[in-house]
Amino acid sequence: MPSSTILGPDLPNIPWEPRPAGSHDVVWRYSRNPVIPRDIIPCSNSVFNSAVVPFGAGFAGVFRVDDTTRNMRIHNGRSRDGFTFEIDPEPIAWHCDDPEIGRFVESYDPRVVAVEGRYYITWCNNYHGYTIGLGYTDDFNTFHQLENSFLPYNRNGVLFPRKINGKYAMLSRPSDTGHTPFGDIFYSTSPDLIHWGCHRHVMAPKRGPVTWQCTKIGAGPVPIETTEGWLLIYHGVLTSCNGFVYHMGAALLDRDHPWKVLYRTRPYLLNPRMTYECVGDVPNVVFPCAALADAATGRIAVYYGCADTVTGLAFMQVDELLDFIKRNSEV
């Protein structure tokens, strides 16, 4: 199906599977999920909440691996087709100009984005408390760590794929020391990727009656630029009597003023309902962290963590998704 909605490159080789016969869902799962198993490398307890980008003739990525001591680390990896992955057995060894920056003790939930030809990685970095780590690579071989973007406590840092109004731009979610029971998405800008400021509020959880996004929300994959605005896929959390339940939803943000929400899904797009999403180290979690989008066809493939244990893949068509968001919106 041709589309002219995505303002980005043509990526004819992204992973894809048509919507199953008889389904009318706007988002559908890869039939062979989980696409990345928990034991893909010898030291891994689980591989989830991971990021994949186009690189060379295929794909590269940064993967959350919790090891068998249950330490949270991020690893480099690659794939020819977006379905089958090779992940380095050791975590990324960062090069830091100031060794102090490297004195973090945990890293998890990476996102990766190409900005001006360089691949930037953001992640949740435990440097005297959880904050947003930032680094880059040109070749998925050598990795350089930059200054942490914010003071603790903050999570879900997601860079936009280009400067907006002349500044680098990032979404994040200020939080607390633990399993934060609140959280709004904010927008911040930087002239140099080191100093961040001009913070703007983007979205709050939907409080009042219980909804899938009533406890906290956080940005997911890098926003996709479309003719209608920035397509932001995000997670929303509900607190049940058994704990948090993580869902996937989407919003459209203004292209020039991305802290302005134009549309936002009232129903979720994906919720934990397959066994691999409901059973695992943390049950009932779908946690999107990366999207591959083909401008020519409007196809989007999203990688999402499942039950904090394995990685899933889901598909959608941009025009159907934007239509769904607009028809089912409550800002």
Q: How many beta carbons lie within 10 A of that of residue 113, not counting itself? A: 20
Residue with tokens 């039950």: 307
Q: Determine which residue in the list 85, 140, 287, 324 makes contact with ligand BMA, applying CB under 6 A.
A: 287
What stretch of H or E contains 276? helix 275-278
What stretch of H or E contains 109? strand 107-115
Q: How many beta carbons lie within 10 A of that of residue 237, not counting itself? A: 25
By rule CB under 6 A, what string of x and - marks binding of each residue 170-209 to ligand BMA?
Answer: ---------x------------------------------
Does the footprint of ligand BMA cover residue 305 (CB under 6 A)? yes
Does the footprint of ligand BMA cover residue 94 (CB under 6 A)? no
Which amino acid is it at 195?
H
Does the footprint of ligand BMA cover residue 66 (CB under 6 A)? no
Provide, rounded to whole angstroms, the least separation between the CB of residue 214 and ligand BMA: 16
Task: Using CB atoms within 10 Å of the CB of residue 2, give its burial: 0 to 12 exposed, 13 to 18 middle, 19+ buried.
Answer: exposed
Provide, rounded to whole angstroms, the least separation between the CB of residue 284 and ligand BMA: 9
Judged by CB, which is closer to ligand BMA: 294, or 308? Answer: 308
Does the footprint of ligand BMA cover residue 304 (CB under 6 A)? no
- Applying CB under 6 A, the span of 17-25, 32-40, 203-211, 280-288 interacting with ligand BMA comes to 280-288
Judged by CB, which is closer to ligand BMA: 276, or 287? Answer: 287
The answer to whether 271 and 255 have CB atoms below 8 angstroms apart is no
Does the footprint of ligand BMA cover residue 49 (CB under 6 A)? yes
Task: Using CB atoms within 10 Å of the CB of residue 169, give its burial: 0 to 12 exposed, 13 to 18 middle, 19+ buried.
Answer: buried
Summarize the chain as % helix, strand, coil (round to 5). 5, 50, 45
Separation between Cα atoms, residue 129 and residue 125, nearest integer Å: 8
Judged by CB, which is closer to ligand BMA: 186, or 246? Answer: 246
Judged by CB, which is closer to ligand BMA: 193, or 290? Answer: 290
Q: How many beta carbons lie within 10 A of that of residue 262, not counting itself? A: 17
Provide, rounded to whole angstroms, the least separation between the CB of residue 46 and ligand BMA: 10
- Which residues contact ligand BMA by CB under 6 A? 49, 108-109, 179, 246, 282, 285, 287, 305, 308
